[in-house]
Amino acid sequence: MGLHWSDWPTPVLETLRRGVVIPAHPLALTADRRLDERRQRALARYYIDAGAGGLAVGVHTTQFAIREVGLFEPVLRLAVETARSWTDRPLVLIAGAAGRTKQAVREAQLARGLGYHAVLLSLAAMKGASEDELVEHCQAVAREMPLVGFYLQPAVGGVVLRHSFWRRFASIDNVVAIKVAPFNRYRTLDVVRGLVEAGAEERVTLYTGNDDHIVLDLLMPFRVAGKTVRIKGGLLGHWSVWTKKAVELLDRIHASVAAGRIEAELLELEAEVTESNAAFFDAANDFHGVIAGCHEVLRRQGLLEGIWCLDPKEGLSPGQAEEIDRVYRLYPHLNDDLFVRENLSRWLS
């Protein structure tokens, strides 16, 4: 029998709906590209102690190729075990699910058995499918686990999805959230429009994955068809680094929204955060170094030993390290290096 979001512990559901920082968990590898369990565990401990409200594991930042090398289950299992042993605080545990329907259902079943609360459903493998086929695919996975929709930007393999798809997707009763990550304002509005047309804005919580628009996504209201909808939190690869500062930023944004007053300083942070993301994600080279860039920041902090990816061809692009140097120099208030230094030995123990 599948898991429904109404079966969740109340604190977990409240955490998701409040809007929290959910880092997309990277993959820690040794120099010979094997799982580094010690550092994989340390990353989860770092995110938890930084104040993250959840973890997303087996997603793009974890590298979809973990499925091809037998690491999908070990990595998911390690994250759950670490979370349970490290804190009693309610965390939203989200597993990535990918592939065609048979594979995605199987991955959802595995995630349910390990104790995850929901799956972030990638539709990249469904390119060429009709809207009806996409909806049927989502319904099949939703029978197993609550769904977090995922509008992945086409530049890294996503599928363009019309507002009519999002209306039908949001109408699925076991959908709890949508990660809006097309890196495109028109397509972001398509998600909001679909959600409102489905009348699901109270049940389905929006999370930003638009790494080029994080601060404004979280600050601005979306007024569609007479209803105001807000993006409440972020499920971001960008927040896999400098996570403590991301938590502080989201807290400030929530306080500002609650007070009905937007600080000018928060608006100024939009460009600074986006520039930092451009360096980490390698926007100048069409995101070729996106995963390696996040690894490089974690390596500099000592959380990772190196920037190795499963694909030996994945690494920093020419000039990317210098861009990371630049944002470190220009925006020291955005990094959490001191926090990491103070706790690193404990996380690695």
The separation between the first and the last C-alpha atoms of the chain, rounded to the nearest angstrom, is 38
In a domain, 259, yes or no: no
In a domain, 344, yes or no: no
Three-class secondary structure of residue 23 per DSSP: strand
Helical segments of the chain, H only: 10-18, 37-49, 72-86, 101-114, 131-142, 163-170, 185-197, 214-219, 243-259, 264-281, 290-301, 320-330, 337-347
In a domain, 349, yes or no: no
In a domain, 294, yes or no: no
Mean pLDDT by 10 residues, the chain (349 residues): 94 98 98 97 98 97 94 98 97 97 98 98 92 96 98 75 95 98 93 96 97 95 92 97 98 95 91 97 94 98 98 96 98 98 98
Question: Which domain CATH number covers 13?
Answer: 3.20.20.70
In a domain, 282, yes or no: no
- Residue entry with tokens 């928060």: 266
Exposed, middle or buried by CB within 10 Å (0-12, 13-18, 19+), for 328?
Answer: middle
pLDDT (0 to 100) of residue 282: 96
pLDDT (0 to 100) of residue 155: 66
In a domain, 297, yes or no: no
pLDDT (0 to 100) of residue 263: 85
pLDDT (0 to 100) of residue 225: 85
Total domain count for the chain?
Answer: 1
C-beta of residue 89 within 8 angstroms of C-beta of residue 50: no
pLDDT (0 to 100) of residue 87: 98
In a domain, 280, yes or no: no
Q: Which domain holds residue 131?
A: 5-245
| Residue 61: DSSP 8-state | G
In a domain, 251, yes or no: no
Burial 220-256 (b: 16+ CB within 10 A, else e): eebebeeeebbbbbbbbbbbbbbbbbbbebbebbbeb
| Residue 179: DSSP 8-state | E
C-beta of residue 103 within 8 angstroms of C-beta of residue 141: no
- Non-local (6+) Cβ contacts of 37 within 8 A are 28, 78
